[in-house]
Amino acid sequence: MQKEQEFIDTLYARVDELRGEAADSVRDAITPVGTGQQARLERDLLVVERSGLLAALNAVEGSLAFGRIDLKDGTAHHIGRIGIRRDDTEHTPILIDWRAPVARPFYLATGHTPMGLRRRRHLTLDGRTVTELHDEILDLEDAERTGYEDPSGDAVLLAALNSARTGRMGDIVQTIQAEQDNIIRHAHQGVLVVEGGPGTGKTAVALHRAAYLLYEHRELLAKRAVLIVGPNPAFLKYISEVLPALGETGVLLSTVAELFPGVHATGTDSPRAAAVKGAAAMAGALAAAVADRQELPMPGAPIVVPHDDGDLVLDWEIAYEARQAARDTKLPHNLARPHFAFRVIDALTAQLTERIGADPYGGPNFLGPDDIAQLGKAVAASPDVHAAIEELWPQLTPQRFLADYLAEPTHLTDDDAAAIRRAPADGDRPWTPADVPLLDEAAELLGHDDSAERAAAEAARQERIAYAQGVLDLSKGSETYEFEDEDESEVLAAHDIVDADRVADWYEEEDHRSAAERAAADRTWAFGHIIVDEAQELSPMAWRLLMRRSPTRSMTLVGDPAQTSEEAGVGAWSEILAPYVEDRYEHTRLGVNYRTPSEIMELAARVLRAEIPGYEPPASVRSTGVAPWVRQADDLGAAVAQAVVELAPEEGRLAVIAPRSLHEVVARGVDGVVVGAEPDLTRDVVLLDPRQAKGLEFDSVLVVEPGLFGVSDLYVALTRATQRLGVLHAGEVPAALA
């Protein structure tokens, strides 16, 4: 123990040294030593690099080192959350990053396959103090013993599984099991599907895979960023500390509802409306609705455009030919619009040319090319012409288009249209999560005409160039630089070696945001890798959105089709992925339940077997000896209050999971709960509905009125507990719980 404490003291002394150096570097870099482009660039790179190092060192402060491997050749390596070198000049590490190849035997070695190890040691720390050691002997011929041997080799894992929950997910880096390690380090570069029942560690494995990929492909993923998609904001808060604890801070965590910049989807849909909006058929309906906005005048009822030289007539034939030409470009609606406008303007110019310059005796037109060009400019500048073009082919934003569409949905069945219709008077109603994939689809169909933005940017650049030229003109002869030539010494003025364009580029504002920050603000960002949790719940339209964010199809999808509860959820992996990668994806399963005790898991499995006969849950690694209970209550509010007192752990967290419709009643027995507010998972007792509870875990769980849950929702609710489970009901219960 003393030797390990000495090592920890040495390690943290080095960490403190690195932390101080990084803080000094950031502070010094904020005040640049030069004003040139090179000095500024070096400063910015240093700030980014040192700030990232400082954030990583601060994030991994707790239990930085957690293991040691002793090899048969006499060498030993300490394993930790990040790698630490002894000093800046020596490449020998004092601490090995858990993701490094040399660390892999720590997770995979067994007595049967020791992988060159004599011993594997687990270190337990409280802050910077070593409190426990657990050794596993892997070379059975080695007679040396330390007194810290763990005969079963499971003490550290079981201690982690039985520890009190904090309301925040912790990393599993110290207890990664072999089947989990194989997935974390899986070399497949396309779509990897990780399926597993409750408690198998799907989410933890996915997060550690993100950390591993960032380690293995640092240069690529640092530029393109990693996106982690979760089912709801509470879940994202729950997992938010895992990657920082592993030294990774440059990842974007988001729900699908947050992936359209500028839109905050706070509204709600009925389950039926969400299902209709999420269906694959919506893509075709929206495409057809966009085409409907490319209109034609009624035959025989042309649009009359006032003009100084007589009215112009925009009839069906002109508009039809212009529309076909624009559609033939295959460009999105807004980008094809200029092609439509040019054809209309050309046709109206020809009409005006014929009227003004026609030879009454049938000869050639009197107007020359310059005259016709001037008429074309006048037509193109006419507000009335632009109004006519806007009427037939309007410039649309995704928000405007979708709001109009939802007011009068088309290309759907009458029942589906009625389910999603909202009156124009509701135009100020907030967007819903199911609207976000539709907005993204609309953005793809419409396209973004950035010609005005590019023109403004170029105008600003020309202003910078003009200013820079003025500066150079004033500096002529005021400053010189000497350059040695092999034949003679030549003296050049500053304006001879630097032009105004280059000076303007130096002073152009740079974007210092991280890749994750830039990705969050850019709808068209292509991520280096995407991880999707509870992937079975996403709708076909949500998948279309995500696949646009991953053109390389580098994704890790985790979930359990048996837990699909959203009506719009696809569930089956083949149905999700066939439109995008066909069958070119890897599928793997996690088969061990580390969270849920066997007593609780058997009860939950009975519920699911009523829907899926023969269903076998993942095998639980532990039993608590505490059976779950099911009780009937006359006064539900009072019964909840009593059960909360009974189930609340001395340390840890209790979740009360009830239908949303009963939250007001249930809250009477749960102190401090604000109904309708975003749940605070760090509180001792939290009130949730089943879908809010997805992916979460608690020491104790109280399920209220299970007869009002769907089978999948009930299965989720019953499998959130790590220690104790109670079920209260006033109404009927499923037969499996009777």
Q: How far apart are CA 637 and CA 664, in angstroms?
A: 9
For the residues 219-241, what does the mean pLDDT come to? 93
**Residue 374 located in a structural domain:** yes
**Residue 490 located in a structural domain:** no
For the residues 252-268, what does the mean pLDDT come to? 95
Q: Crossing angle for the helix pair 271-278 and 435-446, nearest 10 degrees?
A: 30
Highest mean pLDDT of the ranges 465-469, 568-572, 693-697: 693-697
Look at residues 302, 288, 286 and name the one whose alpha carbon lies nearest to residue 391: 302
Are residues 293 and 436 part of one domain? Answer: yes
pLDDT confidence of residue 53: 67
Strands, sheet with 129-137, edge to edge from the N-terminal-most edge strand: 84-85, 93-97, 76-80, 65-71, 117-126, 129-137
- Which pairs from 575-583 meet CB under 8 Å and 24+ separation? 576/535, 576/536, 576/538, 576/543, 577/191, 577/193, 579/543, 580/543, 580/547, 580/553, 581/190, 581/191, 581/553
Residue 362 labelled as part of a binding site: no
Give the residue from 151, 171, 201 where a domain finishes.
Answer: 151
pLDDT: is 503 or 565 the higher one? Answer: 565
CA distances to 385, 596, 726, 738 from 706, rounded to whole Å, are 64, 19, 11, 11
pLDDT confidence of residue 487: 47
Look at residues 609, 603, 618, 632 and name the one whose alpha carbon lies nearest to residue 725: 603
Residue 203 labelled as part of a binding site: yes
Q: What is the pLDDT of residues 653-678, one digit of tens each?
A: 999 999 999 999 999 888 888 888 78
Q: With bands split at pLDDT 50, 70 and 90, how would you rate the model's confidence at 23? A: confident
For the residues 257-262, what does the mean pLDDT come to? 96
Residue 467 has pLDDT above 80, yes or no: no
Q: Coil, strand or helix: which one is 636?
A: helix
pLDDT confidence of residue 452: 64
Are residues 701 and 674 part of one domain? Answer: yes
Residue written as token pair 């009839």 = 315
Question: Which H/E stretch holds residue 377?
Answer: helix 369-380
Residue 301 has pLDDT above 50, yes or no: yes
Bridge partner residues of 252 (DSSP): 227
Bridge partner residues of 85 (DSSP): 93
Are residues 625 and 584 part of one domain? Answer: no
Are residues 289 and 224 part of one domain? Answer: no
pLDDT confidence of residue 362: 79
Look at residues 456, 436, 427 and name the one whose alpha carbon lies nearest to residue 262: 436
Are residues 588 and 609 part of one domain? Answer: no
Give the residue from 593, 611, 628 where a domain finishes.
Answer: 593
Residue 202 labelled as part of a binding site: yes
Are residues 278 and 241 part of one domain? Answer: no
Structure tokens at 630: 């099911």
- Chain centroid offset of residue 72 CA: 44
Asked if residue 693 lies in contact with residue 702, where contact means CB atoms within 8 angstroms, the answer is no
**Residue 482 located in a structural domain:** no
Domain CATH number, residue 689: 3.40.50.300
pLDDT confidence of residue 219: 87
**Residue 616 located in a structural domain:** yes
Q: How far apart are the first and last CA of the chain?
A: 53
- Which domain range does residue 612 map to? 598-737
Q: How far apart are CA 437 and CA 419, in angstroms?
A: 17
Are residues 129 and 12 part of one domain? Answer: yes
Radius of gyration, CA atoms only, the chain: 33
For the residues 298-302, what does the mean pLDDT come to? 94
Are residues 367 and 388 part of one domain? Answer: yes
Are residues 373 and 242 part of one domain? Answer: no
Q: How many domains does the chain have?
A: 4
Q: How far apart are CA 659 and CA 707, in angstroms?
A: 10
**Residue 177 located in a structural domain:** no
Residue 197 labelled as part of a binding site: yes
pLDDT confidence of residue 614: 86
Are residues 696 and 631 part of one domain? Answer: yes
Asked if residue 641 lies in contact with residue 668, where contact means CB atoms within 8 angstroms, the answer is yes
Q: How far apart are CA 519 and CA 179, in angstroms?
A: 33
**Residue 459 located in a structural domain:** no
Look at residues 561, 566, 661 and name the one whose alpha carbon lies nearest to residue 611: 561
Structure tokens at 403: 């709001």
CA distances to 133, 637, 660, 673 from 668, rounded to whole Å, are 46, 6, 14, 9
Residue written as token pair 């001395």 = 650
Q: What length does the chain have?
A: 738
Number of neighbours of residue 145 by Cβ within 10 angstroms: 10
**Residue 652 located in a structural domain:** yes
What is the average pLDDT value for the chain, to the nearest integer? Answer: 88
Phi-psi region of 119 (alpha: psi -120 to 50; beta: other; left: phi over 0): beta
pTM: 0.86
Are residues 412 and 307 part of one domain? Answer: yes
Q: With bands split at pLDDT 50, 70 and 90, how would you rate the model's confidence at 494? A: very low
Q: Choose the weakest-confidence range: 65-74, 144-153, 254-263, 610-619.
A: 144-153
pLDDT confidence of residue 611: 87
Highest mean pLDDT of the ranges 38-47, 111-120, 390-399: 390-399
**Residue 537 located in a structural domain:** yes
Q: Choose the weakest-confidence range: 150-159, 164-173, 403-412, 626-635.
A: 150-159
Highest mean pLDDT of the ranges 247-256, 356-365, 394-403, 415-424: 394-403
Look at residues 59, 54, 49 and name the one whose alpha carbon lies nearest to residue 17: 54
Tell me the DSSP string of 272-334. HHHHHHHSTHHHHHHHHHHHHTS--PBTTBPEEE--TTS-EEE-HHHHHHHHHHHHHTT--HH
Are residues 602 and 588 part of one domain? Answer: no
